[in-house]
Structure 1
């Protein structure tokens, strides 16, 4: 699951395109299938969204929650690919993008009535 935060006036007009770019990166780097998109957009009022100095109102936070297992190199490639593609396709500079990857053990995930360590029909690999 991916959660994206930003100032409402900046985030709302681009969220469909940003979702497409993020998903394309997840497919390319992690091998996600087309139907594996779980994005949550949190558009915030400007007065509720504090961000570091030196950033613009385009400042966007992307939190990627995933099951543990991806190599360090794979995670870094995902981060760099996101920086590059978001700038290229949407025009948000890397200085205005913050990305965090939060890993949880597979038994800490629950979906389709089971935990992640019980599922055996994923259409993608976790250990890449």
Structure 2
């Protein structure tokens, strides 16, 4: 699937998809060769990105898109979600879009609640 339009529009469609539990729709906006800089380390390629996104999206109790800011080439999204182990868990992503697909993502969130839920240290 190729989506046309601004990066901000692609970013909004992407985040609303996974916030709503539709990982397939979100992945339709991800380039095959995406590179994501995540707090846990780099994620390279669509298959690895699916493994990064799907478990997180599958845990969502609820989520809210707080804002999308961008232009035709890049966008920033800010969101908050409720998870089984954390309420009002906030995150942000800075996305680069080429030809209607997200090619680069910088994902920003605090890993401490996830580590604590897993029994690890923050």
More relative contact order, 1 or 2 (CA 8 Å, 6+ apart): 1
Of structures 1 and 2, the larger Rg is shown by 1
TM-score by length of structure 1 reads 0.30
TM-score by length of structure 2 reads 0.31
Would you tell me which structure has more strand in proportion to its own residues?
A: 2
